[in-house]
A = this chain, B = another copy of it.
Amino acid sequence: MFSERQQQIVEIAIKLIADKGIQNLTTKNIAFKIGISEPALYRHFSSKLEILKAVIAYFQIKMQPALEKLKESLISLNKIESFMLEHLKIINLNPDFAKVIFSEANFQNEENLILKMNNMMNQSHKILETIVHSGQKKDEIRTDINSLSIVRMIIGSMRLLVTQWSMSGMIFNLETEGRQLSDDIKKLIVAK
């Protein structure tokens, strides 16, 4: 789908955004970091907007494995644990993602982009919602708590954890803290 040069452009675009925000993402900066001229960029992407679309597609591809792993487990609580830890593992391996992925507001100027980003997020949310729901039906998860609240707590705390990790300069171990959080959530929502 993406040529080597296109991948390189996307990766550098992510790095530039992660480094100094979306305002740092200029065609000039991308070209300079690669070591080619600005017009050469336009041999690989027809516009800057296309580069941003590719950034989002790149996230989607990289995050996919986290959703695949869930299928291996049958118990709801294990699926939830897997959901959290697999996502965090990928983000840990691609620290630049953290700075970009949860700042949807950055793309606010372009209707198309924010829609694509939302779709990507909603996909994850829907999957987690299904897991929680069936966990309650199978009496593995407390039924006296609104399932939407549980989903919001899981996703919300995960996102906050990633944001804090990213803001702190990655000062703590994301996967260790993620496991602590996941263990605590499991303890809270398990059916008694």
Contacts and interface: CB of A to CB of B under 8 A. Distances in A.
Contacts of A137: none
A153 B146 contact: no
Interface residues of A, number: 42
Determine how many copies of this chain the complex contains. Answer: 2
Given A23-B23, A103-B103, A150-B184, 18 more contacts: A20-B108, A21-B105, A22-B105, A22-B108, A24-B109, A100-B105, A105-B106, A106-B106, A142-B188, A144-B187, A149-B181, A152-B181, A153-B157, A153-B184, A155-B156, A156-B159, A156-B160, A159-B159
Interface string A144-169: 11101110110111111101100100
Nearest to A192: B192
